Amino acid sequence: MSDTSGGTTPIGGSLQDLVTSIKSGVVYLGKLVQIWTAVLPRATGLFTMTATATHAVAEPRVQANSIVQLIPTNAAAGTLQGSAKFLFVSTVSAGVGFTVVTSSAANAAGTEVFTYVATSPVV
């Protein structure tokens, strides 16, 4: 194959063709990320546990089938999660939030800080 400069174009196209293909791939990858985040909506936030055994977290972005993950963000929360009082999500209410409960029904200290991620799967 000959190009306009008199040289030969490699099989599969020129370097510019390769760059154009890569740019298109990046654009499509960006669109896939947008679709993925739209299909699997997430809610994130932070809460401090009260000095009780039950605490309601207001989060209007959760759905009834949301999966809520708790991440301890201070030593007190880490200690709570490593004890018999382990904190778990007991209920999730669509458009309202979720409730966390200590597994032993004993009160938390009230200084435990958690980050949460609530993912709503597609059904």
pTM of the model: 0.68
Q: Which residues are within 8 A (CB) of 98 and not within 5 positions of it... i.e. 6 or more apart?
A: 56, 57, 59, 62, 66, 68, 89, 91, 92, 116, 118
Same domain, 56 and 76: yes
50 and 97 fall within a common domain: yes
Q: Kindly state whether residues 69 and 99 are assigned to the same domain.
A: yes
How many distinct structural domains can be found in the chain? Answer: 2
| Whether residue 72 is found in the same domain as residue 111 | yes
- pLDDT tens per residue across span 46-104: 999 999 999 999 999 999 999 999 999 999 999 999 999 999 999 999 999 999 999 99
Are 30 and 47 in the same domain? no
Task: Tell me the pLDDT band of 25, cut-offs 50, 70 and 90.
Answer: confident
Range of the domain at 103: 42-119
Q: Is 98 found in the same domain as 49? A: yes
Residues 32 and 67 in one domain: no
